[in-house]
Amino acid sequence: MSGFPTDSAAAIPERFKGLIFDCDGTLVDTMPLHFLAWKAALQAVGMTITEEQFYAFSGMPTVTIIETLAKQQHLVCDARAAAEEKERLFLQNLESLEPVHRVIEIVHREQGRRKMAVASGGWKSVIYQSLAAVGLNGMFDVIVGADDVQHGKPAPDIFLKAAERLQLVPEDCLVYEDGNLGIQAAEAAGMQVIDVRPWYLPRR
């Protein structure tokens, strides 16, 4: 964002009353675990996903990704069942989760000073378990997942829902994201957004 302090240690302008964080790849470095789970779950139904596709889909709801891949690969499968299997495989390896330290430092610094939410394309049950795995349970006022909205990222719905539950207008919210679709969604919601990817090197 031009003219905006993007250093994680920089003071956040007082006009932002709420901070909204994506989960995967923003608060926790879950992407390698998700990719392994994706490969195994899709292989079981005769589908494939490349690493480039995986990162391009970042932020999109799991069921939507499976439906998109099935269409591209001319296959038919139970997208919901495949999504549930993918999340089961991911949760098996939660002990390997790593926090994104520079983002989590912001959470600890701003807790009690501003309202905070998580808005993720993942299912809420999985978000809660991911946050708990890195000691972030109870740190957020609001958790919004894919099961809370009809349209996932890049639609703005998930961020607008988070702002609504924080009882804030969109322009009072600052979003932290790591995915292009999430950045598009935050901008479509009328919110300022910080891309956290320059702050750390995701494991691959």
| pLDDT number for residue 124 | 95
DSSP H or E segment with residue 118: strand 115-119
Q: For the chain, what is the mean pLDDT? A: 92
**Looking at the domain assignment, is residue 1 inside a domain?**
no
pLDDT exceeds 60 at position 46: yes
At residue 30 the predicted structure's pLDDT band, cuts being 50, 70 and 90, is confident
78 catalytic, yes or no? no
Residue 202 or residue 115, greater confidence:
115
pLDDT exceeds 60 at position 3: no
From the list 187, 149, 31, the residue with the least C-alpha distance to 100 is 31
Residues 104 and 90 in one domain: no
From 22, 29, 157, 178, active-site residue: 22
Residues 113 and 190 in one domain: yes
| pLDDT number for residue 68 | 96
CA distances from 194 to 6, 170, 172 (A): 7, 15, 14
Residues 72 and 122 in one domain: no
**Looking at the domain assignment, is residue 162 inside a domain?**
yes
**Looking at the domain assignment, is residue 152 inside a domain?**
yes
CATH of the domain at 68: 1.10.150.240
Residues 170 and 155 in one domain: yes
Domain boundary among 67, 94, 121: 94
Residues 194 and 106 in one domain: yes
At residue 151 the predicted structure's pLDDT band, cuts being 50, 70 and 90, is very high
Query: How large is the average pLDDT for residues 142-152?
Result: 95
| pLDDT number for residue 126 | 92
Q: How many domains does the chain have?
A: 2
Q: Which alpha helices (DSSP H) does 79-122 contain, by range? A: 79-91, 101-110
**Looking at the domain assignment, is residue 8 inside a domain?**
no
| pLDDT number for residue 1 | 46
Residues 59 and 115 in one domain: no
Domain boundary among 94, 110, 131: 94
pLDDT exceeds 50 at position 2: no
CATH of the domain at 178: 3.40.50.1000
Tell me the pLDDT tens digit for each residue of 80-139.
999 999 999 999 988 888 899 999 999 999 999 999 999 999 999 999 999 999 999 999
Cβ-based burial of 41 (10 A; exposed 0-12, middle 13-18, buried ≥19): buried
